Amino acid sequence: MRRALTLAVSPGVPLHPNPRVGCVLLAPDGSVVGEGYHRGAGTPHAEVEALGVAGDRARGATAVVTLEPCNHTGRTGPCAQALIAAGVARVVIAQRDPNPRAAGGMETLRDAGIETDAGLLADEAAEVNRAWSFAHRNGRPFVTWKFATTLDGRSAAGDGTSRWVSSRPARRDTHLLRGLCDAMLVGTNTVEVDDPQLTVRDDADRPLPRDAQPLRVVMGERDLSADRRVLDDVAPTVHLRTHDPAAALRALYADHDRHHVFLEGGPTLAAAFLQAGLVDEVVTYVAPMLLGAGRSAVGKLGIRTIADALHLELVDTTVVGEGTEANVRMIMRPTRQGPTMGGTA
Fold agreement between 2-128 and 137-334: no
- What pLDDT score was predicted for residue 345? 38
231-282 per-position pLDDT tens digit: 999 999 999 999 999 999 999 999 999 999 999 988 999 999 999 999 999 9
Q: Looking at residue 343, what is its pLDDT?
A: 42
Q: Identify the pLDDT of residue 336.
A: 59
CATH architecture entry for 2-128: 3-Layer(aba) Sandwich (3.40)
DSSP for 122-182 reads HHHHHHHTHHHHHHHHHTS-EEEEEEEEETTSEEE-TTS--TTSS-HHHHHHHHHHHTT-S
Angle in degrees, CA 117, 7, 33, rounded to 5: 70
Residues carrying an active site annotation: 47
Q: What is the pLDDT of residue 297?
A: 85
Low-confidence ranges of the chain (pLDDT < 50): 337-345
Residues found in the chain = 345
Tell which residue, 215, 219, 218, has the closest CA to residue 259.
215
Please give the helix or strand (H or E) that residue 317 lies within, else none: strand 312-320
The DSSP secondary-structure symbol of 112 reads: T
* Whole-structure pTM value: 0.88
Distance CA 48, CA 55 (A): 10
Fold of 137-334: Dihydrofolate Reductase, subunit A (3.40.430)
* DSSP helix/strand/coil, 253: helix
First to last CA, the chain: 32
pLDDT, residue 279, reads 96
What pLDDT is recorded for position 160?
67
In the chain, where the domains are located? 2-128, 137-334
> CA–CA separation, 217 vs 289, rounded Å?
31
Q: Is 71 helix (H, G, I), strand (E, B) or coil?
A: coil
The per-residue pLDDT for 286 is 95
